């Protein structure tokens, strides 16, 4: 009986830490996306014009590439996507409910 309770508590602890890690990953990804979008420069090389010019994006070529794709496909709404992902990740860490990802995807679709 005691072993069953210990295993249940251990599994609950591990599941909650795993959900927190997922929330942290989402928050870090959104912060990196926001930095790439804010430091976007139209003169940076992208997937269409890969010149050997100086990259002005803080995250380098990858940041330039990602921000160019987001701005060309979604426009300024991509900043709202990064902010929404940040708050989704922080709410997942705080409440430990993974279902928040599905609920906030609805808001991303509305954008």
Q: Tell me: the pLDDT tens digits for 48-103?
A: 766 677 888 888 888 888 999 999 899 999 999 999 999 999 999 999 898 888 88
As a residue count, the chain comes to 111
Residue 39 has pLDDT above 90, yes or no: yes
Q: Tell me the pTM.
A: 0.85
State which H helix or E strand residue 11 sits in: helix 2-38
d(C-alpha 46, C-alpha 89), whole Å: 29
Find out whether 68 and 74 touch, Cβ atoms under 8 Å. Answer: no
């Amino acid at each position: 009986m005691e072993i069953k309770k210990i295993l249940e508590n251990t599994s609950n602890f591990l599941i909650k830490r795993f959900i927190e890690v997922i929330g942290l990953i989402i928050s870090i990804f959104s912060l990196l996306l926001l930095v790439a979008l804010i430091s976007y420069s139209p003169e940076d090389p992208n997937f269409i014009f890969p010149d050997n010019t100086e990259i002005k994006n803080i995250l380098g070529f990858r940041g330039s590439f990602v921000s160019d794709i987001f701005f060309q496909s979604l426009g300024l709404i991509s900043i709202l996507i990064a902010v929404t992902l940040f708050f989704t990740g922080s709410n997942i860490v705080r409440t430990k409910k993974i279902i928040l990802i599905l609920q906030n995807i609805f808001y991303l679709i509305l954008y």
